[in-house]
Amino acid sequence: MSASRRSGTTDELGPDEPGRDGSDPGGPDLLAALLDGMDAALCAFDADGVVTHWNREAERILGWSADEAVGRRGLAGWAVRSADAEEVEGRLLAAMHAPGRQVHEFALLTKDGGRVLVRTQSAVVRGPDGKPVGVYCAFSEVHTQIDLERSIALSEALFEDAGWGVVLVDVDLRPAVVNVHAARALGTGRTSVLGRPLGELLSQGVEELESALQHVLAEGAPPAPAEVWVTVRTPEGERRRCWRSGFVRLASPLAEEPVPLGVGWLFQDVTEAKQGEQEASLLRFRAQQLHRASRAAAECEDPVEAATVHLDFALAGFADHALIDRVAGGPLADAESGGPVRLVRVAATPSGAPGPSKVAGRAGLPVRYAEGHPALQCVERVGALRASAGAVPAEEAREWALARQWPPDAVHALCAVLRSRGRTLGVVTFLRGAGRSAFERSDAMYAEDVAVRIAAALDLAGLSGAE
């Protein structure tokens, strides 16, 4: 049997045509390979309705081989019920006189007597003179076509209308396709982001994200979404965001063995929710610390010791160092005015190994604070004050701290005034090192809560008259 016959074609080469000696790589062998390699079933009819082509996918769907199909006139009695044959054949052959492709759905018969619903696309076949000489018909099972259409529709919806970011990342970890939501989240357009390294889009978090993508390429999708904190570069500046991300590995369906095409990355911005959770957790922890400090201070016979207890409990997760300074000469009433304010050290955290705060300043010598020192400004303003060395080299930050009589590793400071019974007793100063962020407004509110408790303890001690 010739290759042409095996693939279900009636084309024959003439004795004088090229290819009889095998010199022509085309001809029926190429046609047979093309037809049998198609994913869709294909059959063709000449102008009289005789089957001229029948490929292997058609054989798979209906069970009729090419030998059994090619050469039959029409489909009646074997591929279509006799009662339906006239209508089906009429709709198929009508494509010879209609523009473009014609799409139809109808039931065909399988060789074992079953019925299968197919969707067909038929179009005219024209001869060298341009006149219709037949019709070709590509068909597939309806459910297979519907699955394909659903996949295409899902892809289009994800990349046009989805309310979360969708990015297809190639094996080089560069965006290949980006939907509208993702482009907006990345602060770029849909086309400008394509092919660019993730490091050009993100200033922080890119290592963690690329590690996750490489893991998916090597091992497959993780069992649960991951929350990734990133800093996005945008024309308006950098933005810190938290993206809840899911990953799926993409492989080619056409290869015999899975060939990775990249990673599908889906993400949703959960920054506000995560920040809310963090703030709520921080508030709970600080409330617990205040409660524990109050209970521990209540057991102290010495009010000064009670003040240091409040200071030590406040340090946990909040600051690296803390200082308590009282106003020299006694508390200041709001109406009082006079010379410059001087402060005397009451207690401080140890500068070396961690441990409880130590009471100091029994001699009553003022601390050498220069004019404009944050602690002095805090007393003058009767309110909290924040200060920071800023983004400077380590040596400059050290000089900044030493000039203010603070530990040399201090970079950020927060001063809160000590007030009791309408008078200013002194200042409590919290200090952070370079490994922590600067103090924020919420930190100032917590420092003021701690200052109220320390001030009450110092007022009870009567330090202004005791020392």
Long-range contacts of 170-177 (CB under 8 A, 24+ apart): 170/261, 170/262, 171/217, 171/260, 171/261, 171/262, 173/197, 173/198, 173/210, 173/213, 173/214, 174/198, 176/262
Number of neighbours of residue 330 by Cβ within 10 angstroms: 14
Phi-psi region of 263 (alpha: psi -120 to 50; beta: other; left: phi over 0): beta
pTM value is: 0.60
Half-sphere exposure at residue 3, Cβ-oriented, CA atoms within 13 angstroms:
16
Written as six digits, the tokens of 3 are 């290759």
For every one of its 467 residues, what pLDDT tens digit does the chain have, with 9 covering 90 and above?
343 444 454 443 334 444 444 445 556 677 777 777 777 889 999 988 899 999 988 999 899 898 999 999 988 889 888 888 888 888 888 888 888 888 888 888 888 888 888 888 899 988 888 888 899 898 888 887 777 778 777 778 777 777 889 999 998 999 998 888 888 888 888 888 888 999 999 999 999 999 999 999 888 888 899 999 999 988 888 899 999 999 999 887 665 566 678 899 999 999 999 999 989 999 999 999 999 999 999 999 889 999 999 999 999 889 999 999 999 887 787 655 556 888 999 988 887 666 677 887 666 688 899 989 999 999 988 989 999 988 888 899 999 999 999 999 999 999 999 999 989 999 999 999 988 899 999 999 999 999 999 999 999 987 544 44
